[in-house]
Structure 1
């Protein structure tokens, strides 16, 4: 199932790629066939800084069930500290 559904999220954060740490300014999230993972479909997340070029990218391919578990863990962790979750 190729959905072609792609979501982009602006970020304030850091990611560690092949050339070291860089400012992660954007994440692209999509469900598609993985490039490396050994299953039919994966939830893919690319953390990038478009200002720095293609080498400043961290790609993650997750089994969809793992992606849901990760999303729940993120929401649970951040919601435990509402005073921080509202800051940007």
Structure 2
């Protein structure tokens, strides 16, 4: 909740933490971009195994006395087969 925003020229930020509970690296991808009223930065980030990372949700109100709402969407992909080669090197 960003509350009542009085200064429209200054964006307001909150922090969202995502924890990787797996034993492998994952990548989080946020949908949307900085042209929206709500956006997340960074838009993608690798999260190491059993660690947490923080993302900033920014709110840029364009009209005073208006109620804003949005659904933020994040996809998290497990990084598997990163060092796997389909072709063997000839030596």
Whether these two folds match at TM > 0.5 is: no
The structure with more radius of gyration: 2
TM-score for the superposition, normalised by structure 2: 0.26
Greater RCO (Cα-Cα under 8 Å, separation 6 or more) = 2
By percentage of residues, which structure has more helix?
Answer: 1
TM-score for the superposition, normalised by structure 1: 0.27
